[in-house]
Amino acid sequence: MLDLVIIGGGPAGLTAGIYAQRYMLKTVLLEKQLVGGQVQLSDVIENWPGIKSISGMELSERFEDHAKSLGLKIEYGEVTGIDERDGKRVVKTTDGEIETRTVIVATGARPRELGVPGEREFRGKGVSYCGTCDGPLFRGKDVLVVGGGDTAIKEAIYLSKLVNRLYVVHRRDQLRAEKILQERAFSIENIEFKWSSLLTRIEGKDGVERAIIHNKKTGKDEAIEVEGVFIFVGIVPNTEFVDVEKDEWGFIKTNQRMETSREGIFAAGDCRATPLRQITTAVGDGAIAAYMAEQYVARMG
Ligand code: NAP
């Protein structure tokens, strides 16, 4: 029987794995697709202390290498639920069941969809949720970015270097993003802001040809000729499979010890109800969760 199953291989899960190996807990990390999580989609990370600038891909590879060098076992499979049996946890996957004393849920989150006509139809044909992945396809073209948070503005700054003209469509007249990102974006010549505006429709034939936006203040609609629409309007937690207490958006509620409403089940990183979702905060969560799991296992004897 295992001491710990970590679900999810992003920064929170891999950090929990590193700590668990050092605590000598018998651990398996389960990952659905690719180890690394959302960090891998980030062009450049500039707020990981000690490294002024590093690509998301490289930082996540370093996390993985570190965890593996300590002997962390990584397996692939999708978790469908967590049951209880004789005071132990049973992690149910598409391939079977795993018995464990404790579980850390570190499944992160995924981009939120806007739900406008054309969004699903043109996904992969001009509609994207990842600038780093799809940006190079729009070299020299005109594109539009929706959102005013850190992700939207960071991605807009990155994309502005590749594309001809870039429109940022934001529903308010003020950005939510960090001030340093705002200042950088405002100083870039090929970025134009469309304030107090909503993207209402994406149109085209074989691919995106234009986006229709609605200005809430003037009440007017405008068609903008673009070949790419990048949507960054927040994130949805990957927590559907686990039956623990969550907030109104589905993020898992924990206390400061990362304990969820169910004994022996901990949560860490972006899937948790937390005021800040960063690599730095995910890593801190992962360390605490592994420490608490170790304490729990020690108490169980
Ligand atoms: P976010 O901060 O929640 O921002 C979402 C943005 O989308 C907001 O500007 C919001 O507008 C807008 N929005 C939401 N629903 C919308 C809708 N239906 N229609 C139009 N606009 C909509 O999400 P995020 O930018 O993905 O960031 C998530 C977390 O990751 C945050 O904690 C962020 O700080 C962190 N992050 C940090 C970095 C970094 O480099 N430090 C990079 C990326 C992400 P309103 O502003 O009007 O609400």
pLDDT at residue number 39 = 87
Q: Which atom in ligand 1 lies closest to the alpha carbon of residue 148?
A: 9
Contact 41, 132 (CB under 8 A): yes
The first and second tokens of residue 142, run together, are 């005109």
Divide the 301 residues of the chain into consecutive groups of 10 and give the mean pLDDT of each group: 97 98 98 89 86 93 98 97 96 96 97 96 92 90 98 96 98 97 98 98 97 98 98 96 97 98 98 94 98 97 78
| Residue 133 annotated in active site | yes
Cα torsion 134, 136, 139, 142 to 10°: value is: 20
pLDDT at 44: 83
Place of tokens 């605490």: 288
154 within ligand 1 shell (Cβ under 6 A): yes
CA of 42 to the centre of ligand 1 (A): 14
Smallest CA-to-CA distance from 149 within 124, 121, 181 is with 181
pLDDT at 32: 93
**147 Cα to the center of ligand 1, angstroms:** 7
Active site residue 134: yes
Angle at 134 between CA 128 and CA 138, to 5 degrees: 100
CA-closest residue to ligand 1 atom 15? 233
- The per-residue pLDDT for 38 is 86
pTM of the model: 0.82
Half-sphere exposure of 78 (CA within 13 A, CB side): 7
Query: Residue 49: its pLDDT value, please?
Result: 97
What whole-number distance in Å separates Cα of residue 125 and Cα of residue 22?
46
| 148 Cα–ligand 1 center, Å | 6
- Closest atom, ligand 1, to C-alpha of 276: 32
